[in-house]
Structure 1
Amino acid sequence: MKRGSKVAKKYKVEIPAAALKETDFDPGDDLSLSVSHKQFVIRSAKVTDLIPQINIGFYTVPALLMMVIFFVYSRSLGVNQVALTGEDYSIANAGTLLGTISGIVIFVIAAIWTKVNQTGPTKELYWRNLPTIVIACGLILAFSFSAAFWLLGRLFMDASFDIYTSTVMIFMILAVVNYVMINLAMTLTTSIITNLLTIMIIGGMLFAMLTNSSRDWWKHNFSFLGTAEDSANFQFNVTLIFSGALMLTLVDYLFVNLQKNFKGRRILILRWLLYALSACIASIGLFPNDPQFHILHDRISMWLVYIILILIVALRWILPRVTKQFLTLSYTLGVVMGVEYIVFKLTDYLSLTAFELLEFGLAFSWLLLLLQNIENLANFGHNLFIVTVKDDSKK
């Protein structure tokens, strides 16, 4: 070795046996280590091991069956030219119906298969959680199809295709949807459920705003989207109902693991407050702001606000190992929400719709951060393990 050259230091990380059992790795396997955002990520050295291996027949065969159904039914109606979008028979309507049905069935089969065979994160899922997740995925599929075809209808107005081209398009759409749903079932985790909750609430509400019959809905209030006066009230209310149910599922999923590591009355209080919050979200959709439910709707909305304020104030005592940064952020958001309420009540600066949207945005953002903190605590000691980095050059 040349004089002046430096010997590269080596460090050793000892992996607990319990952690190794949670993987498919064996002692002596080659693993790759990468550094991402100042964190070590250890994974298989084979790129193919990082991607769920899905047999091509699992998603193409169901798509072929649905394609045949579409072709035969179109022929029975004597249809030779199919419109891209429209209220009558169209690729949009057929794709939405067949895609949603096919996607849900494929997702259920894949989720049950992975859970029974203990081959993916779905093994951590409880059977009681599956129905809500399936319904949420179905609604997200239906909303996604509707939004995508709504946009395509605006871009390609009056477009139509012959029966053979339309059939091929239906096959391609269904094959992609089936693949996505199988992949989702094989990689389903609490983080993905949180993402589904976010997509469902934001996507459902945006879709209701885009498709409602009254362009002046914002002059009334945010809850107007759920009333009988608006044509999009069904989408808006269903979004809230199943968002509340999905959040209930997520809280149930998280707290079973959380209570293995942290016990006591404080955890129970936090859990039941989040259950109550989920119930309020669902109840706002269940009891829209129509005349017969107006008083109940307003009271439930206020209960939701009170529960969030109680959570923020009591966070220091009911959330284990809460960080100073999260406490500071929570109190800051609580103060901002309080100031907005005072400004709305005492001045005409904020309209009712603007006030509701701002409060919803702040509350929902904080709720996602809270769920993320709970998820990290729930994984600690279950999917997270303490390791020590040792200097291997000193022998």
Structure 2
Amino acid sequence: MEKIKLPKELYDKLELGETKQIEVTDLSNDSFKIRAIDRNRTERAATWFLLPTAISTLLFILSLHFFGKSSVIPLTGTDSIASGVMVISNAVAMISFIVSYLMRRKELSHQMTSKVYWRTIITVIIAVLLLVTLVLSAFFWFISQIFYGVAFDTITSVLIFAIFTGILSFFLLFVVDVFEISMLLNLLIMVAIGGLLSSMVSNGNQYWWQRNFSVLGTNNSNASWQFNLTLILSAALMISLFDYIFVSLRMKVGFQIRHVILQLLLTLCAICIAFVGLIPNNGLGLAHLAHDIFAQLIVLFMGLAILGIRWFLPHIEKNFYYLSYAIVAILALSYFLWHPIYYLTLTAFEILSFSVCFAWIMLLINSLLRIIWEEKKVYQVEIITAEEDTKNK
């Protein structure tokens, strides 16, 4: 086996012992990835997904017997295969996800501190649960449109249920196996975009856009819980990400008051987003007033963060400054096109503002993660000759 020399700091960072090996992957013209091989680590998805599948299938059979469904079972609808997967399989798979995620806490300590791990665990679990529920709802809705009214006998129904359950259980355990802190960012994107699109599609009123964006979270919408829960969960994911990022940033560059102020502004913005979801804009009264105040505070805190980005992060890429100021110009222009001259509707202004601000937050998080993770250092290269390799053996 070929050998490689590593500086002591890299050797310690990879936690290599005398008998451990490293793996070099992603070879390209000028870069590659290096990681320690942990022979004790097991991929739980490939070995353990059968257990939650078997438990869910047994519970499904018992529920069929309990509710007297012994002849024909529909694929979708009430008391169907789809409802069994949504309730039984989803619950059992999520329990297996939680147990597996807790078992991986030591491995995840390389990416986040123990404090950050316990702060984010509830948010991760709820985000995964919501995302899986939304995906299953969309999937079975699509299936119901293709196979309208289809039903199966008991044995076939149990087999189809077991297949769906096996796929779901394997997927959730696979997510645990490959989980990294960057997945919180992907969860935020999928929950925010997926939840909002789902609310638009299933709200029950094709002309909702004639009023405003917030109508999706009111009593006038059939999907108000999806819209409001999406806002609350997106806010929780944002707070978790900001907490991890700025704690890691302080560990790397030390305490700086400008970073604390930026974290405070971004966290307050996320809290206001959560309150917009917690207090639907149902008509007049205190709820309407509070909803509008929190919505306006989002604009205030986000505007201060964007306008002051050069002071908050003086060593970030200059292109990010130009992009931030361009976003401020777009927001100012869209506001002018909406309120004084009414070229844009309120809904168009809200969607445009949300889109550019959300994109700015994603870019900011990516830029901060690069500062934390991409530690660059130059080393002198030394080639181990065949004679040296033989002598060391």
Please report the TM-score for the alignment, with normalisation by the length of structure 1: 0.87
Measure how far apart 1:392 and its partner are: 5.2
Q: Match for residue 289 of structure 1?
A: 281
Uncovered stretches (5+) of structure 1, i.e. residues with no partner: 1-11
Aligned to 1:210: 201
Q: Which of 182, 193, 206 matches 1:191?
A: 182
Give the letter aligned to residue 48 of structure 2: F
The CA deviation string for residues 304-337 of structure 1, in whole angstroms up to 9 with x for no partner, is 1111111111101112521101111111111111
Letter in 2 for 1:267: H
- Structure 2, unmatched stretches of 5+, are 385-393
Q: How far apart, CA to CA, are the structure 2 residues paired with 1:200 and 1:217? A: 21
Q: How does 1:355-374 map to 2 (within 5 A)?
A: 355-374=349-368
Indicate conservation of the 8 Å contact 1:122/1:186, yes or no: no
Quickly say closer, same or farther: Cα 1:333–1:31, change in 2 above 3 A: same
Aligned residues: 375
Work out whether residues 344 and 355 of structure 1, in 8 Å CA contact, stay in contact via their aligned partners in 2.
Answer: yes
d(CA) in 1 for partners of 2:143, 2:355:
29
Judging changes above 3 Å, is the alpha-carbon distance between structure 1 residues 186 and 31 closer, same or farther for their aligned structure 2 residues?
closer
Among 346, 353, 370, the residue aligned to 2:340: 346
Map of 2:390 onto structure 1: none
- Within 5 Å, which residues of 2 pair with 1:39-188? 39-43=31-35, 53-54=43-44, 56-79=46-69, 80-86=71-77, 88-116=78-106, 121=111, 125-188=116-179
Secondary structure of the structure 2 residue equivalent to 1:126: helix
Residue 270 to residue 163, structure 1, CA distance change in 2 (3 Å)? same
Deviates more, 1:96-105 or 1:308-317: 96-105
> Which segment is superposed worse, 115-124 or 171-180?
115-124
State whether structure 2 residue 307 is matched by structure 1 residue 313.
yes
**Counterpart Cα distance in 2 of 1:37 and 1:243:** 39
Report the Cα distance in structure 1 between the residues aligned to 2:127 and 2:64, rounded to whole angstroms.
Answer: 30
In the aligned structure 2, how far is the partner of 1:30 from the partner of 1:190?
A: 22
Aligned partner of 1:23 in structure 2 is 14
What secondary structure sits across from 2:222 in the alignment?
coil
**Could you tell me which residue of structure 2 aligns to residue 7 of structure 1?**
none
The percentage of aligned residue pairs carrying the same residue is: 29
CA RMSD of aligned residues (A): 2.7
| Separation in structure 2 between the aligned mates of residue 363 and residue 251 of structure 1, nearest angstrom | 16
AA matched with 2:198: F
Of 189-198 and 35-44, deviating more is 35-44
* Cα distance change of structure 1 residues 274 and 55 upon mapping to structure 2, 3 Å threshold: closer
Quote how far apart the aligned CAs of 1:150 are: 1.0
**Corresponding residue of 1:280:** 272
Q: Per the alignment, do residues 372 and 94 of structure 1 end up closer, same or farther by CA in structure 2, a change over 3 Å counting? A: same
Tell whether the 8 Å contact from 2:23 to 2:35 is kept in structure 1 after alignment. Answer: yes
* 3-state SS of 1:390 partner: coil
Change (3 A) 1:346 1:360: same
For 1:129 and 1:334, locate their aligned partners in 2 and report how far apart those are by CA, in whole Å: 31
CA apart distance, 1:26? 5.7
Contact 1:218 1:353 in 2 (8 A): yes
Moved more, 16-25 or 205-214: 16-25
Instruction: Go from structure 1 to structure 2 and tell me whether the alpha carbon gap of 1:133 and 1:259 turns closer, same or farther (over 3 Å shift).
Output: same
**Aligned residue in 2 for 1:9:** none
Kindly state the Cα deviation for residue 296 of structure 1 after the two structures are TM-superposed.
1.4
Task: Provide the secondary structure at the position in 1 that maps to 2:371.
Answer: helix
Give the counterpart of 1:300 among 294, 303, 313: 294
